[in-house]
Homo-oligomer: A and B are copies of this chain.
Amino acid sequence: MKSVLVLGSGGVGAVTALALQSSGEADVTLIVRTDYETVMTRGYEFKSVDYGQVDGWRPSRVVKSVDEAVEHGPYDYIVVCTKFVPEVQKTEDMVRPFMHKGATVVLVQNGLGNEEPVMKAFPDGYVLGGVSMIGSTNYDGRINHISPDEVTIGTYDKRPEAIASAKEYVRLYSLSKSKGIFTEHLAKKRWIKLFYNATYNTIAAVTGLDTGRLYFSGISNNLVKEAMAEVRAIAEKELGEKLDPGIEAFMLNVDANEYYEPSMLVDVRKGQPMELEAILGNPLRLAQKHNIPAPLLQVVYIMLRGRQMALLEKRGLVDLPPLGFDLKEHKPVYDTLPWTE
């Protein structure tokens, strides 16, 4: 029996907890904040393409806080399904209370650069990266899960114990209805998802348009396509290999029959911080490192940094000077490009 902690109880976290608990070989503790009372009273309700209708479900243990989760540790796997927004909370700080020699942290998150700081803070343990393909939302403890759950797991760390831990996680994850896949090419998987996330997702957030409207306005076949070419150039240099030439056409048309709101557009509309650094900041830092020009992504990024500032301000995380100041006397929040910081 493995002891597993899941952090993040959104659409991905809830299905992850269900998948692991359903394996029969894992004892799952889930940290639930917003929905705690609801989940304790009536449990989760799943309407799931993989698991069917599941009512009143709870994993082995539902806790409300990190402190409470620590009491019930230690955990073999600490699975992070939260958004990755280091401006709000760094992942290494989030998992630090659960770190112990031999434990494994699994980062089921978007973007690039998520693993490194955790690996650095946690040299005695193992850090896995997960790329999730799932359509799953959680509103008030009701999970609507519409596309099959498939998570691809790999490591940047090539120690045999890390790889063994990844394979064991994949085995556990696949014992019931979800699908886990082990990959030796985690970075490549992450980059392929970025063809969509660094372009459609970011341009949707800047323009305020969902994917159908981006398509219909002509922006898809114009800016989004150009941005994808920049992603390809960075990815191929960073990975040291050519990628499938069909990725752009696939990604450009993947939402060509719906008005879909990518996650960063949802964040803008809800006024909550975006996963900007993982999705765009870190790929651009690699472009800079390799001296690959990415002028379009750079403009999009600078604009979204400004918007992120306003989203962080709403959360009380950025203080703007009051009226009647002279802004010229103030150091801007971002006075340099990120790669020169």
Contacts and interface: CB of A to CB of B under 8 A. Distances in A.
30 contacts: A206-B207, A207-B303, A207-B306, A207-B307, A209-B306, A209-B309, A212-B320, A213-B306, A213-B309, A213-B310, A214-B306, A216-B321, A216-B327, A217-B305, A217-B306, A217-B310, A217-B332, A217-B334, A218-B335, A219-B303, A222-B302, A223-B302, A253-B328, A256-B328, A257-B327, A259-B320, A259-B323, A295-B295, A296-B299, A299-B299
A330 B257 CA distance: 11
Interface in A307-332: 307, 309-310, 320-321, 323-328, 330, 332
A93 interface: no
A147 interface: no
Nearest to A212: B327
Contacts of A208: 208, 268, 307, 310
B257 A216 contact: no
A221 B303 CA distance: 12
Contacts of A253: 328
Nearest to A203: B303
A122 to B, nearest CB: 33
A213 B223 CA distance: 25
> Closest 4 A-B residue pairs measured CB to CB?
A218-B332, A217-B306, A218-B334, A256-B327
